[in-house]
Each structure stands twice: as structure tokens, then as C-alpha cells.
Amino acid sequence: MCGITGFFQLHGETDPNIDLISKMVKAIEHRGPDEYGVLFDRKAVLGHARLSIIDLAGGSQPLSNEDNSVWIVFNGEIYNYIELRVVLEKAGHKFRTNSDTEVIVHAYEEYGRDCVKQFNGQFAFCIYDKKDESLFISRDRFGIRPLFYTVHNNQFYFGSEIKTIFCDPQVRRKIDLDGLDQLFTWWTTAPPKTVFENISELAAGHSLIIKDGNIKTEKYWEITYPETFDYTRSVDSWAEEMHGLLVDSVRLRLRADVPVGAYLSGGLDSAVTTALIKNFTDTKVETFSIAFEDKAFDESTYQTQMSDFLGTNHHVIKCNYKDIAENFPRVIYHTEKPIVRTAPTPLMLLSGLVEQTGFKVVLTGEGSDELIGGYDIFKETLIRKFWAKFPNSKFRPVALRKLYPTLPVSQADTGAYLGEFYKSGFAEIEKYYFSHIPRMNTTTKVKMFFSADVKETLKNNSAIDAFGGDLPENFDNWHHLSKAQYVEAKSLLAGYILSSQGDRMLTANSIEGRFPFLDHRFAEFCATIPPGHKIFGLNEKYLLKRAMKKELPKEIVNRVKQPYMAPDSNSFVQHDSPSYTQDILSEKSLEQAGLFNPKSVSRLVAKCTKMADKHLSFKDNMSFISILSTQLLHEKFIAGFEIPKPIEKSDYKTYVDLR
């Protein structure tokens, strides 16, 4: 895990702005505080902030090939770098380091832009090819590592985070209302759109090429599903293959020259990854977890049970309402976009615990729910799809109520409420987003609080179509579970789970997360699993449970899934809540930002305050957090962005001047 940044002259040459690149690197030093590197050319300037994980002494960046004609800055890990190095050496390539970074350089020389298809990893990198003065940027298949870019005054800027681009004061900072509309529909924006005007995000599984002043993007991978499935194969055979792929994925993701720990949430996915570390490697297992003072969200009993079962050295951080409120502004600085829940905040505190313990790397269970059918939204889809055939049935709401035995809910306690809520969208059963209509109905309530001007601007908008423009050709022929999984991976997984809850909360404390379930070989295998083996009746992740039943306690395997959540509006309306909440939601602040109606927001805040000791509806909680996070985003990036001081030349480990 590192931070990369830089700029590239689209036409002609220029004297590089050394002061600017030093500020850009400084802005993302939290991603890589171990050492800094920079390269200057009259065409390209590259910057790097390194977190040293592999080849601690020799992996400094920017790094080049033998004749210094190809240079790279790289964020991430190539897990199969050892195997690729053998192939490349046989092809005649000479290595001078033991790093995975150098493998990328030589793979680019050998395979060109198709080199990315050889990599098993998580990455965002930029290669400057000095021979033809081109730039090649690529992002991993699932979008684990971020990459943003813009063009201003004939110059292309890029970076792991948007704040590095904003270090140039000439780059305009303004909220993109279309992006905001998308986020308050899907919890994220659809690349290349972001919530900032003229700032683009490179989509997962895509590369970007700049040559002769032209910029183009190309897709090199996406997950697809078959139209038919093999039900003749035994469930045990599927489970055995799944287990083997997971063991290999975990082993690869333990490759590091520093200790590697693991998150242990109390749920199935982190239990799987930790058990595989324990049972199939010689790694000493150190585990980390969050406990909550509010028992409605706390899973510490299961965390302790799993830690005791595996004999791990376990570390716990406890989180309360005040912790969430006090750290929320810092969370938004790192997410660089609004969020609809506070759930990322405890995860940032957890990565802080990892850093304090002396670790740099952790394995986590992200991706399992999306690939194997773990979320309630998938079970909801199965029920709603069947229910649509009998829309007047009185019994379907009862089935839906069985999905939520663990949640602290309000009006969702009644089957009647669930029946009406999930019946919505039956007229759109053939739409690509059918599975996600209930979630969108909850999330989009925040748009009621938009100011009159924003509502007028967005009145003809269609954010619901944001992820429908690049669907696979045979998408309409897929099983409805496959469609739901595809949309979930393209939207929530890449744009929220791996971003706001993942990369950003880990790197805020200079921690690298690794995700065994997101090995692309495992994902491609999961796509071929029959839907009935993923969700058996209403038993989610059925095949994974079969694959791991001999290695986990029955209580963990059979436990009803509890979605990871954290206290939301309750955290900000307690008597000892920090004063910034009142300031940022004041009529003056709301009017200055111009995004929300102050009177409507005031009524919502009053309602949340009155219900401070109760659990509000999902809609009210999401609206409160969405408005608060948007106001904080405006304050930190629009009203008063602070450009850091530049890194001094003497502080660079690598300083390359090619002019």
C-alpha cells in the first residue's frame, strides 16, 4: 500500500513544478510514510509515498527498467510476483531488486498493456514510457486501490486521492450535483463520475493511456455470469474446489517482509480467512476487532469465541457514541465523499489499533458477501422476484421479516410495513436495478432535504441509470441473483465497501488491507456456482459454510448474519456531543453551502435529538448522516482546503531528474 501522484504535459514540454509535486506527495503521506520518491522530466513528473511491505531495502520508487526508459510509481501488491519473475527472467529480463514493483515494469516491456491480465493483485500504477512519451495507468479488477485524474491547462493530473490533485490551486474545487445525486441513490458514484466537478475516477478493471496528447480508457476485465449452471455436479465437489482456491488465495496474500495480521469481526467471512491462516500456514496469527458499547451493534462475544477457538493473540478496541462523533470529520477528510452511515468510523479506529500494535498489513473478509450471496439484498431479490408473481399474497411479508432477526429496527418490526416497502418496484421487474430498488427507496429520502436550487438543477436527472450504461451483452439472460450480484459488485463493493469502509479507513492509519475473497480466480469460480448453492432456501453463503464446516465452530457457521453497522444519528445528538455538529448544521452553514434546505434540516435534527435514546428509522438515520457528511465535505474541500507544505528535497529517498 502506497500513494502515487503526478502530472503529465499533454502537448509539448514544460519545466516541471517541483514545489507542486512535493505538496502532492505530502498530501498523501499517510498512505506511505516510510519514504518518498519523485521523478522529473520535461514531459512527466511522478511522485510516490511508500509503505514498505516487500523488499524493504530495494523497493524504492519511482523505479525503472535497465536502461531507464520505463518508469513506474505503484500502489498495491502483485501477489504472484515470484512466479511472474521466473517467467520474465527466462524471457531475458534482468532484475536488480526483489520487489513486485519491478515485475510490473518488466511485464509491461514483455506484454505491453496486456501485462495487467497477468497480475493477481490489487493495484493502481502509472508507467511513464520515455521512448514514446506515453503514460499508462491501470487499476485492479475490483477497484481495491483508488485512482483519480483531471485535465487542466493542457496538463493531466493523477493521484491515489483527490486531495493530491487539489494541491494545485488552479484546479477548481466544486461539488458535482450529478455526482451527489448518484451517491444519494447508490451510496457511491458511477466512474468516471465523482462528487467533484471535472475530477474523474478510473473504473475498476480499466486502464488509461495517454499518447500524442490523446487520452483513452479501456476495459480489460469484468466479472460475468453464465446463462445456465451445472446442477449435475455435487455440492461437495463445488465446496472442495472453493476451499482449495481460498487456501491458495490466503497463502498468496501472506507474502510480505513484515508481519501480517487479520481482522476478526465475529462473522463468517473473517473467521474463514483467519482459520485458513491458522490451519494452512505457519504464520503466527494476531487478530483485531471492534467492540461497541451499544449492545445492539456489538459482536464481541463471537469475536472472543473465534479467537479462543483458533488460539490467536487478540486485540480489541471499544467504540462508543462519542468516539464516532469526534472522529467523523477526519473520516470525511479521508473518504473524500459523503457517506450515508457512520460505519467507516469504527473501522478507522480499528486500523489505528493495528498501527499502534506495530502491524502494517491485515487480511479481511470483504468480497465474500458480494460473490457468494451473503447480503440480505440478495435474499430480498429472490423473495421479491417470486412475490411479484403473486403481488397480493399476505404471506410474503412474513418471509421478509425472517431476514432481520438481529437488527435494532423501528417500523420494520411489522410485517405490514415490510410488505408495502418491498412490494415497491414490481412494475420495474425487468430493469437492471430491480434488486436494488428497496435500498434506493431508503437512501433517496435525503434528496427531500436538497435546497430549491439543487432540486431544480436535478429535476430531470436519472441517477437510477448510473450503472446501466455498460452492462454485459447477455445481462438480460442472467439469473436474477447473478444480476443482483453484478450490480452490487459494480456499485456498493467498489465505491463504498472497498473505498469508504476499506482503502480510505485503512490508509488513514498507514495500514494495508488484503482481501482473499477478491482473488480474481476465486471470483470467476464463484460466478459459475449455481444460485441454489449460494443461497439454499434463505440460508446465505451455503456453499462457503459447507466448505468450511470442519474448520469452524458450529455457532459461527450456523449464526444468522448480522450486517456490520454502527450507531448513526445517536452519536451526534447526545448531551456531550462535539460542538461542530451544531455549527456545521446551522442555518448559516447550510445557506453558505447551498446544498440543503435549512428549515427542513432543522426539523430533522430536532427529531433526531428527541429520539436520541432510541433507534430511528433507516431513512432518518441515513438522511442525517448524509447531510452531515456532505456539509463536512464542503467545509474541508470547498470552503477551506488546506494545501500542505512541500516535502524538502533532503527528505526524498529517491530523487530522479531526467531533464
pLDDT digits (tens, 9 = 90+) for 315-353: 999 999 999 999 999 999 999 999 999 999 999 999 999
Share of the chain above pLDDT 90, in %: 81
What is the arithmetic mean of pLDDT over 161-183? Answer: 98
Residue 63 near residue 99 (C-beta atoms within 8 A): yes
Encode 190-227: b = buried (16+ Cβ within 10 Å), e = exposed: bbebbbbeebbbbbbbbbbebeeeebeeeeebbbebee
Q: Looking up cell 519473475, which residue turns up? A: 85
Q: Which of 149-163, 211-225, 549-563, 621-635 is predicted with the least confidence, judged by mean pLDDT?
A: 549-563
H helix or E strand, kind and range, residue 87: helix 81-90
pLDDT value of residue 424: 61
Pick left, alpha or beta for residue 358 (phi over 0 → left; psi -120 to 50 → alpha; otherwise beta).
Answer: left
423: pLDDT confidence band, cut at 50, 70 and 90?
A: low
412: pLDDT confidence band, cut at 50, 70 and 90?
A: very low
Model-level pTM?
0.95
The residues with which 121 forms a beta bridge, in sequence order, are 78
Q: Which of 2, 115, 167, 608 is the catalytic position?
A: 2
What is the arithmetic mean of pLDDT over 288-308? Answer: 92
User: For 540, what's the count of Cα atoms within 13 Å in the CB-facing half-sphere?
Assistant: 27
Amino acid, single-letter form, for residue 613: D
In this structure, the strands spanning 44-50 and 35-40 are: antiparallel
Q: Is 294 exposed, middle or buried (0-12, 13-18, 19+ CB in 10 A)?
A: middle
- CA geometry: angle at 336 spanning 184 and 168, to 5°? 130
Cα 83 to Cα 88, 295, 378, 470, 504: the distances in Å are 9, 47, 37, 34, 30
- Per DSSP, the three-state class of 392 is coil
- Indicate the fold that domain 2-221 takes in CATH: Glutamine Phosphoribosylpyrophosphate, subunit 1, domain 1 (3.60.20)
Q: In whole angstroms, what separates CA 422 from the centre of its chain?
A: 27
pLDDT value of residue 570: 87
What is the arithmetic mean of pLDDT over 448-469? Answer: 95
405: pLDDT confidence band, cut at 50, 70 and 90?
A: low
418: pLDDT confidence band, cut at 50, 70 and 90?
A: low
The three grid cell numbers given for residue 387, joined into one nine-digit string: 412475490
Mean predicted lDDT score pLDDT of the chain: 92
pLDDT value of residue 139: 98
Residue 123 near residue 74 (C-beta atoms within 8 A): yes
User: How crowded is residue 636: how many other Cβ atoms within 10 Å of its Cβ?
Assistant: 17
Q: Which of 47-56, 510-519, 602-611 is predicted with the least confidence, judged by mean pLDDT?
A: 602-611
Q: Is 97 exposed, middle or buried (0-12, 13-18, 19+ CB in 10 A)?
A: middle
pLDDT value of residue 467: 97
What's the CATH code, domain 235-371+494-557? 3.40.50.620
Residue 98 near residue 54 (C-beta atoms within 8 A): yes
pLDDT value of residue 404: 57
DSSP3 helix / strand / coil % (the chain, rounded to 5): 45, 15, 40
397: pLDDT confidence band, cut at 50, 70 and 90?
A: low
pLDDT at 559 over 90: no
Q: Looking up cell 511472474, which residue turns up? A: 84
Q: pLDDT (tens digit, 9 = 90+) per residue, 588-632?
A: 999 999 999 999 999 999 998 887 667 678 889 999 999 999 999
What is the arithmetic mean of pLDDT over 61-66? Answer: 97
Q: Is 2 a catalytic residue?
A: yes
Sequence spans of domains, the chain: 2-221, 235-371+494-557, 569-639
Dist CA 278 CA 284 (whole Å): 8
Question: Of how many residues is the chain composed?
Answer: 659
Share of the chain above pLDDT 70, in %: 93
Q: pLDDT (tens digit, 9 = 90+) per residue, 79-134?
A: 999 999 999 999 999 999 999 999 999 999 999 999 999 999 999 999 999 999 99
Cα 174 to Cα 197, 307, 433, 592: the distances in Å are 6, 47, 29, 13
What is the arithmetic mean of pLDDT over 36-54? Answer: 97
Instruction: Using alpha carbons, select from 258, 228, 236, 246 the residue that is nearest to residue 54.
Output: 258
pLDDT value of residue 555: 86
